[in-house]
Structure 1
Protein backbone atom coordinates (compact mmCIF):
# COMPACT_ATOMS: atom_id res chain seq x y z
CA UNK A 1 0.00 0.00 0.00
CA UNK A 2 1.70 3.18 -1.21
CA UNK A 3 1.98 6.11 1.18
CA UNK A 4 0.19 9.38 0.51
CA UNK A 5 2.70 12.23 0.18
CA UNK A 6 1.30 15.68 1.05
CA UNK A 7 2.83 19.17 1.10
CA UNK A 8 1.07 21.34 3.68
CA UNK A 9 1.98 25.05 3.80
CA UNK A 10 1.32 27.23 6.83
CA UNK A 11 2.50 30.84 7.13
CA UNK A 12 5.23 30.50 4.53
CA UNK A 13 6.57 27.12 5.74
CA UNK A 14 5.90 23.89 3.82
CA UNK A 15 5.69 20.58 5.69
CA UNK A 16 6.12 17.29 3.81
CA UNK A 17 3.99 14.51 5.26
CA UNK A 18 3.89 10.80 4.43
CA UNK A 19 0.72 9.01 5.57
CA UNK A 20 -0.87 5.64 4.92
CA UNK A 21 -4.02 5.78 2.78
CA UNK A 22 -6.12 4.41 5.63
CA UNK A 23 -4.91 7.11 8.03
CA UNK A 24 -7.81 9.11 9.43
CA UNK A 25 -8.28 12.81 9.00
CA UNK A 26 -7.97 13.10 12.79
CA UNK A 27 -4.49 11.58 12.53
CA UNK A 28 -3.51 14.14 9.88
CA UNK A 29 -4.70 17.00 12.07
CA UNK A 30 -2.87 15.60 15.09
CA UNK A 31 0.35 15.46 13.06
CA UNK A 32 -0.16 19.04 11.90
CA UNK A 33 -0.68 20.14 15.49
CA UNK A 34 2.70 18.61 16.40
CA UNK A 35 4.36 20.56 13.60
CA UNK A 36 2.61 23.94 13.91
CA UNK A 37 1.09 24.05 17.45
CA UNK A 38 -2.28 24.84 15.84
CA UNK A 39 -4.96 22.68 17.55
CA UNK A 40 -7.31 20.72 15.24
CA UNK A 41 -10.27 22.89 16.25
CA UNK A 42 -8.46 25.92 14.77
CA UNK A 43 -7.18 24.22 11.62
CA UNK A 44 -8.71 25.04 8.25
CA UNK A 45 -7.32 23.09 5.28
CA UNK A 46 -7.71 24.45 1.76
CA UNK A 47 -7.31 22.06 -1.17
CA UNK A 48 -9.07 21.01 -4.36
CA UNK A 49 -11.60 18.22 -4.22
CA UNK A 50 -13.92 16.82 -1.58
CA UNK A 51 -13.75 18.41 1.85
CA UNK A 52 -13.77 16.29 5.05
CA UNK A 53 -17.03 15.88 6.91
CA UNK A 54 -16.07 13.52 9.73
CA UNK A 55 -12.75 13.40 11.52
CA UNK A 56 -12.65 9.59 11.55
CA UNK A 57 -12.89 9.22 7.76
CA UNK A 58 -9.71 8.35 5.93
CA UNK A 59 -7.63 10.92 4.12
CA UNK A 60 -8.50 9.14 0.86
CA UNK A 61 -12.22 9.55 1.63
CA UNK A 62 -11.55 13.21 2.36
CA UNK A 63 -10.27 13.66 -1.20
CA UNK A 64 -6.56 13.96 -0.41
CA UNK A 65 -4.19 12.45 -2.98
CA UNK A 66 -0.47 11.90 -3.16
CA UNK A 67 1.42 14.99 -4.34
CA UNK A 68 -1.44 17.31 -3.47
CA UNK A 69 -0.64 20.78 -2.16
CA UNK A 70 -2.64 21.85 0.88
CA UNK A 71 -2.77 25.28 2.55
CA UNK A 72 -3.53 25.39 6.25
CA UNK A 73 -4.95 28.42 8.06
CA UNK A 74 -5.25 28.66 11.80
CA UNK A 75 -3.95 30.20 15.00
CA UNK A 76 -2.15 28.60 17.90
CA UNK A 77 -3.71 28.34 21.33
CA UNK A 78 -1.23 30.96 22.54
CA UNK A 79 -2.36 33.41 19.86
CA UNK A 80 -6.00 32.80 20.76
CA UNK A 81 -5.12 33.61 24.37
CA UNK A 82 -3.48 36.85 23.23
CA UNK A 83 -6.61 37.69 21.26
CA UNK A 84 -8.76 37.23 24.35
CA UNK A 85 -6.43 39.55 26.23
CA UNK A 86 -6.75 42.13 23.45
CA UNK A 87 -10.54 41.80 23.54
CA UNK A 88 -10.57 42.17 27.34
CA UNK A 89 -8.48 45.33 27.02
CA UNK A 90 -10.77 46.62 24.26
CA UNK A 91 -13.83 46.06 26.45
CA UNK A 92 -12.11 47.89 29.31
CA UNK A 93 -11.38 50.87 27.04
CA UNK A 94 -14.95 50.82 25.74
CA UNK A 95 -16.22 51.02 29.31
CA UNK A 96 -13.89 53.95 30.06
CA UNK A 97 -14.99 55.74 26.88
CA UNK A 98 -18.66 55.28 27.80
CA UNK A 99 -18.00 56.76 31.23
CA UNK A 100 -16.05 59.68 29.75
CA UNK A 101 -18.84 60.35 27.26
CA UNK A 102 -21.00 61.37 30.19
CA UNK A 103 -18.46 63.93 31.42
CA UNK A 104 -18.28 67.56 30.20
CA UNK A 105 -15.97 68.17 27.25
CA UNK A 106 -13.53 71.04 26.93
CA UNK A 107 -12.03 72.66 23.86
CA UNK A 108 -8.47 73.50 22.98
CA UNK A 109 -9.32 76.51 20.79
CA UNK A 110 -12.37 78.38 19.69
CA UNK A 111 -14.29 76.99 16.74
CA UNK A 112 -17.19 78.31 14.73
CA UNK A 113 -19.27 75.12 15.08
CA UNK A 114 -20.72 74.20 18.50
CA UNK A 115 -19.64 70.91 20.06
CA UNK A 116 -22.21 68.17 20.27
CA UNK A 117 -21.79 65.22 22.63
CA UNK A 118 -21.21 61.87 20.94
CA UNK A 119 -24.19 59.59 20.43
CA UNK A 120 -23.08 56.06 21.21
CA UNK A 121 -25.49 54.66 18.64
CA UNK A 122 -23.46 55.99 15.74
CA UNK A 123 -20.44 53.73 15.75
CA UNK A 124 -19.22 50.19 15.09
CA UNK A 125 -20.99 48.06 17.68
CA UNK A 126 -18.66 45.06 17.48
CA UNK A 127 -15.27 44.07 16.08
CA UNK A 128 -14.81 40.56 14.68
CA UNK A 129 -11.43 39.42 13.30
CA UNK A 130 -11.29 36.09 11.48
CA UNK A 131 -9.82 33.77 14.08
CA UNK A 132 -8.79 31.09 11.57
CA UNK A 133 -6.40 33.51 9.85
CA UNK A 134 -2.84 34.22 11.05
CA UNK A 135 -2.16 36.69 13.87
CA UNK A 136 -5.71 37.53 15.07
CA UNK A 137 -4.39 40.02 17.69
CA UNK A 138 -2.84 42.19 14.95
CA UNK A 139 -6.06 42.09 12.93
CA UNK A 140 -8.03 43.03 16.04
CA UNK A 141 -5.71 45.97 16.71
CA UNK A 142 -6.14 47.22 13.13
CA UNK A 143 -9.95 46.90 13.28
CA UNK A 144 -9.98 48.75 16.60
CA UNK A 145 -7.78 51.50 15.15
CA UNK A 146 -10.21 51.94 12.26
CA UNK A 147 -13.27 51.89 14.53
CA UNK A 148 -11.73 54.49 16.86
CA UNK A 149 -10.10 56.66 14.20
CA UNK A 150 -11.13 60.21 15.22
CA UNK A 151 -11.90 61.26 11.63
CA UNK A 152 -14.02 58.15 11.01
CA UNK A 153 -15.87 58.64 14.30
CA UNK A 154 -16.45 62.26 13.28
CA UNK A 155 -18.18 61.38 9.98
CA UNK A 156 -20.17 58.56 11.59
CA UNK A 157 -21.54 60.97 14.18
CA UNK A 158 -22.24 63.67 11.61
CA UNK A 159 -24.10 61.35 9.22
CA UNK A 160 -25.57 59.12 11.94
CA UNK A 161 -24.00 55.95 10.55
CA UNK A 162 -24.60 52.74 12.48
CA UNK A 163 -22.61 49.58 11.70
CA UNK A 164 -23.34 46.42 13.64
CA UNK A 165 -20.12 44.53 12.83
CA UNK A 166 -16.73 45.59 11.46
CA UNK A 167 -14.82 42.53 10.26
CA UNK A 168 -12.37 41.41 7.60
CA UNK A 169 -12.37 39.74 4.18
CA UNK A 170 -10.06 36.77 3.72
CA UNK A 171 -7.99 37.20 0.52
CA UNK A 172 -8.70 33.64 -0.67
CA UNK A 173 -12.48 33.89 -0.23
CA UNK A 174 -13.21 36.84 -2.55
CA UNK A 175 -9.84 37.79 -4.07
CA UNK A 176 -11.31 40.50 -6.33
CA UNK A 177 -12.82 42.50 -3.46
CA UNK A 178 -11.36 45.09 -1.10
CA UNK A 179 -14.58 45.84 0.75
CA UNK A 180 -18.21 44.82 1.21
CA UNK A 181 -21.16 46.43 3.02
CA UNK A 182 -23.90 43.94 3.85
CA UNK A 183 -27.49 45.19 4.21
CA UNK A 184 -26.64 48.89 4.64
CA UNK A 185 -24.58 48.54 7.79
CA UNK A 186 -25.39 45.08 9.12
CA UNK A 187 -21.71 44.30 8.54
CA UNK A 188 -18.78 45.95 6.80
CA UNK A 189 -16.00 43.64 5.63
CA UNK A 190 -12.57 45.01 4.72
CA UNK A 191 -9.52 43.40 3.13
CA UNK A 192 -6.91 43.91 5.83
CA UNK A 193 -4.27 41.41 4.75
CA UNK A 194 -1.85 41.02 1.89
CA UNK A 195 -2.49 38.12 -0.49
CA UNK A 196 0.21 35.97 1.10
CA UNK A 197 -1.27 36.43 4.60
CA UNK A 198 2.16 37.50 5.84
CA UNK A 199 1.27 41.14 6.47
CA UNK A 200 -1.38 43.84 6.39
CA UNK A 201 -2.31 46.44 3.78
CA UNK A 202 -1.37 50.11 4.46
CA UNK A 203 -3.69 51.76 6.97
CA UNK A 204 -4.50 54.73 4.73
CA UNK A 205 -5.65 52.43 1.91
CA UNK A 206 -7.87 50.38 4.21
CA UNK A 207 -9.40 53.53 5.69
CA UNK A 208 -10.27 54.85 2.22
CA UNK A 209 -12.07 51.57 1.50
CA UNK A 210 -13.91 52.00 4.81
CA UNK A 211 -15.15 55.46 3.76
CA UNK A 212 -16.36 53.94 0.51
CA UNK A 213 -18.25 51.17 2.32
CA UNK A 214 -19.76 53.62 4.83
CA UNK A 215 -21.29 55.44 1.86
CA UNK A 216 -23.14 52.22 1.06
CA UNK A 217 -25.05 52.67 4.33
CA UNK A 218 -27.08 55.20 2.33
CA UNK A 219 -26.64 54.38 -1.37
CA UNK A 220 -26.38 50.88 -2.80
CA UNK A 221 -25.29 51.45 -6.40
CA UNK A 222 -22.26 53.44 -7.53
CA UNK A 223 -24.44 56.15 -9.05
CA UNK A 224 -24.12 59.95 -8.86
CA UNK A 225 -25.80 60.03 -5.45
CA UNK A 226 -23.18 57.58 -4.16
CA UNK A 227 -20.28 59.49 -5.72
CA UNK A 228 -21.46 62.78 -4.22
CA UNK A 229 -21.78 61.42 -0.69
CA UNK A 230 -18.56 59.44 -0.88
CA UNK A 231 -16.69 62.54 -2.06
CA UNK A 232 -18.22 64.44 0.84
CA UNK A 233 -17.05 61.82 3.36
CA UNK A 234 -13.51 61.89 1.97
CA UNK A 235 -13.51 65.67 2.11
CA UNK A 236 -14.80 65.70 5.69
CA UNK A 237 -12.12 63.22 6.79
CA UNK A 238 -9.43 65.37 5.18
CA UNK A 239 -10.85 68.59 6.66
CA UNK A 240 -11.07 67.00 10.10
CA UNK A 241 -7.42 66.00 10.04
CA UNK A 242 -6.34 69.37 8.71
CA UNK A 243 -8.32 71.12 11.44
CA UNK A 244 -6.97 68.75 14.07
CA UNK A 245 -3.39 69.65 13.17
CA UNK A 246 -4.33 73.26 13.88
CA UNK A 247 -6.04 72.40 17.16
CA UNK A 248 -9.49 73.67 16.19
CA UNK A 249 -11.50 70.58 17.19
CA UNK A 250 -13.09 70.05 20.57
CA UNK A 251 -11.17 67.34 22.35
CA UNK A 252 -11.43 65.63 25.69
CA UNK A 253 -9.55 67.22 28.55
CA UNK A 254 -8.13 63.83 29.55
CA UNK A 255 -4.53 63.52 28.40
CA UNK A 256 -5.05 59.98 27.09
CA UNK A 257 -7.68 61.22 24.65
CA UNK A 258 -5.65 63.95 22.98
CA UNK A 259 -5.76 63.29 19.24
CA UNK A 260 -2.46 63.17 17.43
CA UNK A 261 -3.42 63.36 13.74
CA UNK A 262 -1.51 61.50 11.08
CA UNK A 263 0.78 63.58 8.90
CA UNK A 264 -0.06 61.34 5.93
CA UNK A 265 -2.62 63.62 4.32
CA UNK A 266 -0.42 66.69 4.57
CA UNK A 267 2.63 64.87 3.25
CA UNK A 268 0.69 63.46 0.31
CA UNK A 269 -1.00 66.77 -0.40
CA UNK A 270 2.39 68.45 -0.65
CA UNK A 271 3.32 65.92 -3.33
CA UNK A 272 0.06 65.76 -5.29
CA UNK A 273 -1.70 68.90 -6.42
CA UNK A 274 -4.34 69.63 -9.06
CA UNK A 275 -2.95 68.69 -12.44
CA UNK A 276 -0.42 66.28 -10.89
CA UNK A 277 2.49 68.69 -10.59
CA UNK A 278 4.60 69.49 -7.57
CA UNK A 279 4.09 72.70 -5.67
CA UNK A 280 6.35 74.81 -3.52
CA UNK A 281 4.63 76.83 -0.79
CA UNK A 282 4.55 80.57 -1.46
CA UNK A 283 5.80 82.79 1.34
CA UNK A 284 2.86 85.18 0.94
CA UNK A 285 0.33 82.32 1.01
CA UNK A 286 -2.19 82.77 3.81
CA UNK A 287 -3.05 80.05 6.27
CA UNK A 288 -6.49 79.58 4.71
CA UNK A 289 -5.06 79.49 1.17
CA UNK A 290 -2.56 76.84 2.18
CA UNK A 291 -5.26 74.81 3.92
CA UNK A 292 -7.46 74.96 0.82
CA UNK A 293 -4.57 74.06 -1.50
CA UNK A 294 -3.66 70.99 0.55
CA UNK A 295 -7.29 69.92 0.78
CA UNK A 296 -7.83 70.31 -2.98
CA UNK A 297 -4.72 68.27 -3.67
CA UNK A 298 -5.87 65.52 -1.34
CA UNK A 299 -9.37 65.41 -2.83
CA UNK A 300 -7.97 65.25 -6.37
CA UNK A 301 -5.94 62.18 -5.46
CA UNK A 302 -8.83 60.55 -3.62
CA UNK A 303 -11.17 61.00 -6.60
CA UNK A 304 -8.77 59.13 -8.85
CA UNK A 305 -8.35 56.33 -6.31
CA UNK A 306 -12.11 56.09 -5.80
CA UNK A 307 -12.65 55.34 -9.50
CA UNK A 308 -10.35 52.32 -9.14
CA UNK A 309 -11.89 51.29 -5.81
CA UNK A 310 -15.37 50.90 -7.30
CA UNK A 311 -14.10 47.90 -9.24
CA UNK A 312 -13.07 46.18 -5.99
CA UNK A 313 -16.25 46.82 -4.02
CA UNK A 314 -18.70 43.94 -3.60
CA UNK A 315 -21.64 46.11 -2.57
CA UNK A 316 -24.32 46.80 -5.17
CA UNK A 317 -28.05 47.09 -5.18
CA UNK A 318 -30.86 49.48 -4.27
CA UNK A 319 -30.01 52.42 -2.08
CA UNK A 320 -30.60 52.14 1.64
CA UNK A 321 -33.11 54.96 1.44
CA UNK A 322 -35.37 53.12 -1.02
Structure 2
Protein backbone atom coordinates (compact mmCIF):
# COMPACT_ATOMS: atom_id res chain seq x y z
CA UNK A 1 0.00 0.00 0.00
CA UNK A 2 1.27 3.45 -0.89
CA UNK A 3 1.84 5.75 2.08
CA UNK A 4 0.86 9.39 2.07
CA UNK A 5 4.46 10.29 2.91
CA UNK A 6 7.86 8.69 3.21
CA UNK A 7 10.29 10.21 5.70
CA UNK A 8 13.94 9.25 5.27
CA UNK A 9 15.85 9.89 8.48
CA UNK A 10 14.80 9.07 12.04
CA UNK A 11 16.48 11.66 14.21
CA UNK A 12 15.28 15.02 15.56
CA UNK A 13 14.01 16.39 12.23
CA UNK A 14 12.55 13.26 10.71
CA UNK A 15 10.75 12.14 13.86
CA UNK A 16 9.38 15.64 14.45
CA UNK A 17 7.94 15.59 10.93
CA UNK A 18 6.53 12.12 11.50
CA UNK A 19 4.72 13.17 14.68
CA UNK A 20 2.79 15.91 12.88
CA UNK A 21 1.66 13.54 10.15
CA UNK A 22 0.86 10.76 12.62
CA UNK A 23 -1.38 13.10 14.57
CA UNK A 24 -3.00 14.05 11.28
CA UNK A 25 -3.87 10.35 10.86
CA UNK A 26 -1.85 10.04 7.68
CA UNK A 27 -0.25 6.70 6.75
CA UNK A 28 3.50 7.27 6.74
CA UNK A 29 6.72 5.30 6.49
CA UNK A 30 9.84 6.35 8.40
CA UNK A 31 13.12 4.88 7.13
CA UNK A 32 16.10 5.16 9.45
CA UNK A 33 19.65 3.81 9.21
CA UNK A 34 20.43 4.58 12.87
CA UNK A 35 23.43 6.82 12.13
CA UNK A 36 22.41 10.32 13.32
CA UNK A 37 24.97 13.12 13.14
CA UNK A 38 24.77 13.66 16.92
CA UNK A 39 25.56 10.04 17.84
CA UNK A 40 29.02 11.06 19.09
CA UNK A 41 27.64 13.42 21.75
CA UNK A 42 27.04 12.26 25.32
CA UNK A 43 24.27 14.80 25.93
CA UNK A 44 21.99 17.21 24.14
CA UNK A 45 22.01 20.54 25.95
CA UNK A 46 19.74 23.52 25.42
CA UNK A 47 16.91 21.42 23.99
CA UNK A 48 13.64 22.63 25.50
CA UNK A 49 12.54 20.43 28.41
CA UNK A 50 15.26 17.82 27.78
CA UNK A 51 18.45 19.60 28.75
CA UNK A 52 21.18 17.03 29.37
CA UNK A 53 19.37 14.01 27.93
CA UNK A 54 21.39 11.90 25.55
CA UNK A 55 20.49 12.15 21.85
CA UNK A 56 19.91 8.38 21.86
CA UNK A 57 17.42 8.68 24.73
CA UNK A 58 15.51 11.50 23.03
CA UNK A 59 15.38 9.53 19.80
CA UNK A 60 14.28 6.26 21.43
CA UNK A 61 11.56 8.08 23.37
CA UNK A 62 10.27 9.68 20.18
CA UNK A 63 10.24 6.32 18.40
CA UNK A 64 8.33 4.74 21.29
CA UNK A 65 5.76 7.53 21.23
CA UNK A 66 5.34 7.26 17.46
CA UNK A 67 4.73 3.56 17.88
CA UNK A 68 1.41 4.34 19.56
CA UNK A 69 0.04 5.80 16.31
CA UNK A 70 -1.43 3.10 14.06
CA UNK A 71 -0.69 4.90 10.79
CA UNK A 72 3.09 4.92 11.35
CA UNK A 73 5.41 2.25 9.97
CA UNK A 74 9.09 2.39 10.89
CA UNK A 75 11.68 0.58 8.79
CA UNK A 76 15.21 0.12 10.10
CA UNK A 77 17.55 0.27 7.13
CA UNK A 78 19.49 2.48 4.76
CA UNK A 79 17.74 4.16 1.84
CA UNK A 80 20.07 4.25 -1.16
CA UNK A 81 17.88 5.24 -4.09
CA UNK A 82 14.92 7.56 -4.59
CA UNK A 83 12.95 8.13 -7.78
CA UNK A 84 9.90 10.08 -8.81
CA UNK A 85 7.15 7.90 -10.19
CA UNK A 86 3.53 8.33 -11.19
CA UNK A 87 1.62 9.46 -8.11
CA UNK A 88 4.64 10.05 -5.92
CA UNK A 89 8.01 8.54 -5.10
CA UNK A 90 9.74 5.21 -4.60
CA UNK A 91 12.57 4.75 -2.10
CA UNK A 92 14.74 1.63 -2.23
CA UNK A 93 16.68 0.20 0.69
CA UNK A 94 19.87 -1.83 0.80
CA UNK A 95 17.85 -4.91 1.85
CA UNK A 96 15.92 -4.77 -1.42
CA UNK A 97 12.70 -3.39 0.07
CA UNK A 98 10.93 -0.50 -1.64
CA UNK A 99 8.66 2.06 0.01
CA UNK A 100 6.28 4.20 -2.03
CA UNK A 101 4.55 7.41 -1.04
CA UNK A 102 2.80 10.46 -2.41
CA UNK A 103 5.23 12.89 -0.74
CA UNK A 104 8.83 12.56 0.39
CA UNK A 105 10.56 14.24 3.33
CA UNK A 106 14.34 14.02 3.38
CA UNK A 107 15.88 14.32 6.84
CA UNK A 108 19.09 12.46 6.13
CA UNK A 109 21.40 14.96 7.80
CA UNK A 110 25.02 15.86 7.26
CA UNK A 111 28.39 14.18 7.66
CA UNK A 112 31.16 16.12 9.38
CA UNK A 113 34.63 16.29 7.83
CA UNK A 114 37.07 16.43 10.74
CA UNK A 115 40.65 17.71 10.52
CA UNK A 116 43.30 15.02 10.21
CA UNK A 117 44.86 15.54 13.61
CA UNK A 118 46.11 12.84 16.01
CA UNK A 119 43.82 12.48 19.03
CA UNK A 120 40.86 14.34 17.52
CA UNK A 121 38.45 11.67 16.28
CA UNK A 122 38.21 9.80 19.60
CA UNK A 123 37.32 13.05 21.38
CA UNK A 124 34.75 14.34 18.88
CA UNK A 125 31.45 15.22 20.55
CA UNK A 126 32.97 15.01 24.02
CA UNK A 127 35.93 17.37 24.56
CA UNK A 128 36.41 18.33 20.91
CA UNK A 129 33.15 20.11 20.24
CA UNK A 130 31.53 22.54 17.84
CA UNK A 131 28.76 24.48 19.59
CA UNK A 132 29.28 26.48 22.80
CA UNK A 133 25.52 26.71 23.39
CA UNK A 134 25.28 22.91 23.26
CA UNK A 135 28.43 22.04 25.21
CA UNK A 136 30.21 25.15 26.47
CA UNK A 137 28.61 25.37 29.90
CA UNK A 138 30.13 22.04 30.94
CA UNK A 139 33.62 23.53 30.31
CA UNK A 140 33.00 26.97 31.76
CA UNK A 141 35.90 28.81 33.41
CA UNK A 142 38.47 26.40 31.99
CA UNK A 143 41.19 26.94 29.40
CA UNK A 144 39.56 26.60 25.99
CA UNK A 145 40.82 26.51 22.43
CA UNK A 146 39.40 27.13 18.98
CA UNK A 147 40.97 25.26 16.08
CA UNK A 148 40.69 27.09 12.76
CA UNK A 149 38.98 25.10 10.01
CA UNK A 150 37.48 27.79 7.78
CA UNK A 151 36.65 31.47 7.25
CA UNK A 152 34.08 31.42 10.10
CA UNK A 153 36.65 30.28 12.68
CA UNK A 154 37.64 33.80 13.84
CA UNK A 155 33.95 34.48 14.49
CA UNK A 156 33.71 31.28 16.53
CA UNK A 157 36.81 32.29 18.50
CA UNK A 158 35.24 35.65 19.35
CA UNK A 159 32.26 33.90 20.99
CA UNK A 160 34.04 31.36 23.18
CA UNK A 161 35.50 33.75 25.83
CA UNK A 162 32.04 33.96 27.41
CA UNK A 163 32.74 30.43 28.65
CA UNK A 164 36.43 30.63 29.50
CA UNK A 165 39.93 31.91 28.62
CA UNK A 166 40.36 31.24 24.90
CA UNK A 167 43.26 30.60 22.53
CA UNK A 168 42.62 30.78 18.79
CA UNK A 169 44.83 28.44 16.75
CA UNK A 170 44.97 29.78 13.20
CA UNK A 171 46.73 26.64 11.90
CA UNK A 172 48.75 29.06 9.77
CA UNK A 173 45.82 29.32 7.36
CA UNK A 174 42.81 31.21 8.71
CA UNK A 175 44.50 34.32 10.07
CA UNK A 176 42.03 37.00 11.17
CA UNK A 177 41.87 40.24 9.20
CA UNK A 178 42.35 43.58 10.92
CA UNK A 179 38.72 43.93 11.96
CA UNK A 180 38.57 40.36 13.26
CA UNK A 181 41.87 40.76 15.07
CA UNK A 182 40.62 43.88 16.81
CA UNK A 183 37.50 42.06 17.99
CA UNK A 184 39.54 39.10 19.25
CA UNK A 185 41.81 41.46 21.17
CA UNK A 186 38.82 43.18 22.78
CA UNK A 187 37.48 39.78 23.76
CA UNK A 188 40.79 38.78 25.33
CA UNK A 189 41.50 35.93 22.87
CA UNK A 190 45.11 34.76 22.62
CA UNK A 191 46.24 34.34 19.00
CA UNK A 192 48.49 31.36 18.21
CA UNK A 193 49.84 31.03 14.66
CA UNK A 194 51.95 27.89 15.14
CA UNK A 195 49.86 24.89 14.04
CA UNK A 196 48.50 22.30 16.46
CA UNK A 197 49.89 18.86 15.57
CA UNK A 198 48.52 16.65 18.37
CA UNK A 199 45.87 16.60 21.09
CA UNK A 200 47.16 15.39 24.45
CA UNK A 201 45.61 13.60 27.43
CA UNK A 202 43.86 10.36 28.28
CA UNK A 203 40.98 10.38 25.77
CA UNK A 204 38.29 11.53 25.87
CA UNK A 205 39.82 14.06 28.29
CA UNK A 206 42.17 16.78 27.03
CA UNK A 207 45.12 18.17 28.95
CA UNK A 208 46.52 20.28 26.14
CA UNK A 209 47.69 20.46 22.54
CA UNK A 210 51.19 20.10 21.13
CA UNK A 211 52.31 22.67 18.58
CA UNK A 212 54.58 22.15 15.59
CA UNK A 213 57.48 23.83 17.42
CA UNK A 214 57.16 21.42 20.37
CA UNK A 215 55.39 23.77 22.78
CA UNK A 216 52.41 22.50 24.75
CA UNK A 217 49.39 24.73 25.39
CA UNK A 218 47.24 23.56 28.31
CA UNK A 219 43.49 23.44 27.71
CA UNK A 220 40.52 21.22 28.56
CA UNK A 221 38.23 21.59 25.55
CA UNK A 222 38.77 22.40 21.90
CA UNK A 223 36.11 23.95 19.68
CA UNK A 224 36.06 23.68 15.91
CA UNK A 225 33.59 24.08 13.07
CA UNK A 226 34.01 21.12 10.69
CA UNK A 227 33.18 21.22 7.02
CA UNK A 228 30.02 19.24 6.30
CA UNK A 229 28.67 17.14 3.46
CA UNK A 230 25.39 15.44 2.67
CA UNK A 231 25.16 12.16 4.56
CA UNK A 232 23.03 10.72 1.75
CA UNK A 233 22.94 11.16 -2.02
CA UNK A 234 19.12 11.04 -2.22
CA UNK A 235 18.65 14.81 -2.63
CA UNK A 236 21.17 14.88 -5.46
CA UNK A 237 19.57 11.84 -7.11
CA UNK A 238 16.21 13.59 -7.14
CA UNK A 239 17.68 16.77 -8.64
CA UNK A 240 17.16 19.05 -5.63
CA UNK A 241 18.88 22.43 -5.81
CA UNK A 242 21.62 23.22 -3.29
CA UNK A 243 23.00 26.41 -1.83
CA UNK A 244 26.15 27.16 0.11
CA UNK A 245 25.99 27.37 3.89
CA UNK A 246 28.66 28.48 6.36
CA UNK A 247 30.23 24.99 6.50
CA UNK A 248 29.12 23.41 3.23
CA UNK A 249 26.22 22.90 0.86
CA UNK A 250 22.65 22.54 2.14
CA UNK A 251 19.47 21.70 0.26
CA UNK A 252 17.62 24.79 -0.94
CA UNK A 253 14.12 25.02 0.56
CA UNK A 254 11.39 27.61 0.86
CA UNK A 255 9.77 28.76 4.11
CA UNK A 256 7.66 25.58 4.15
CA UNK A 257 10.66 23.24 3.65
CA UNK A 258 9.68 22.47 0.05
CA UNK A 259 12.71 21.77 -2.16
CA UNK A 260 13.06 22.71 -5.81
CA UNK A 261 11.53 19.33 -6.71
CA UNK A 262 7.72 19.28 -6.35
CA UNK A 263 6.60 16.88 -3.65
CA UNK A 264 10.04 16.63 -2.04
CA UNK A 265 10.69 18.38 1.29
CA UNK A 266 13.90 18.61 3.31
CA UNK A 267 14.31 19.16 7.05
CA UNK A 268 17.02 19.27 9.66
CA UNK A 269 20.71 20.04 9.28
CA UNK A 270 20.70 19.16 5.59
CA UNK A 271 18.42 22.16 4.92
CA UNK A 272 19.38 24.54 7.74
CA UNK A 273 22.26 27.00 7.54
CA UNK A 274 22.13 27.34 11.34
CA UNK A 275 22.22 23.91 12.91
CA UNK A 276 21.42 22.47 16.32
CA UNK A 277 18.87 20.05 17.77
CA UNK A 278 16.19 22.67 18.30
CA UNK A 279 16.47 24.06 14.77
CA UNK A 280 16.40 20.51 13.38
CA UNK A 281 13.25 19.58 15.30
CA UNK A 282 11.51 22.84 14.40
CA UNK A 283 12.24 22.39 10.70
CA UNK A 284 10.88 18.85 10.92
CA UNK A 285 7.65 20.16 12.40
CA UNK A 286 7.36 22.64 9.53
CA UNK A 287 8.01 19.93 6.95
CA UNK A 288 5.41 17.64 8.48
CA UNK A 289 2.76 20.34 8.68
CA UNK A 290 3.54 21.48 5.12
CA UNK A 291 3.20 17.96 3.75
CA UNK A 292 -0.09 17.51 5.60
CA UNK A 293 -1.38 20.73 4.05
CA UNK A 294 -0.25 19.69 0.57
CA UNK A 295 -1.99 16.32 0.92
CA UNK A 296 -5.15 18.01 2.15
CA UNK A 297 -5.24 20.34 -0.84
CA UNK A 298 -4.93 17.39 -3.23
CA UNK A 299 -8.00 15.57 -1.89
TM-score bucket of the superposed structures, by smaller chain: under 0.3
- The structure richer in helix per residue is 1
- TM-score w.r.t. structure 1 length? 0.21
TM-score scaled to structure 2, two decimals?
Answer: 0.22
- Asked which structure has the greater CA Rg, the reply is 1
Higher relative contact order (CA 8 A, sep 6+): 2
